[in-house]
Amino acid sequence: MIRTKRIYDDVAPEDGFRVLVDRLWPRGVTKQKAAIDLWAKDVAPSTEIRRQYHSGVDSWPVFEAKYQAELLANPGLDDFWDVVKTQPTVTLLSAVRSLENSHVTVLTNVLREILHDDDPRSNR
């Protein structure tokens, strides 16, 4: 099971394996309070894509397409998947205000596709 949550939300037992999927460490959060099991900054969007989206240069659909293409070409995705697939529950954590329109949604969708054998990486 793959879940999503803001890093600022309380830690809960049902979180399972907690993974921070931001490239930058979140402000105001200590490593102890974050209680993460893995910091997967290698699967976060590149600085260029992230900045274009947050500055308003790219719309959500453009960001989503760019990040998915970048993610699918990222060899780090395979290593990340190797860790994720061994966990019964994984919670992807981010400091973004809205998880719905963020890289977390794109990453979650890609991981779920891989999980359900609709591996988008097979088109590489």
**What pLDDT score does 114 carry?**
86
The enclosing H or E element of 113 equals helix 103-115
**What pLDDT score does 102 carry?**
93
Question: Full-prediction pTM beyond 0.85?
Answer: yes
CB 103 within 8 Å of CB 45: yes
**What pLDDT score does 53 carry?**
92
Query: Can you tell me whether residue 45 is helix, strand or coil?
Result: coil
* 10-residue averages of pLDDT along the chain (124 residues): 95 97 95 95 94 90 94 93 93 94 94 75 50
**What pLDDT score does 121 carry?**
55
Determine the Cα–Cα distance for residues 53 and 47; give it in Å rounded to an integer: 10
For residue 58, the 8-state DSSP code is S
Determine the Cα–Cα distance for residues 57 and 39; give it in Å rounded to an integer: 28
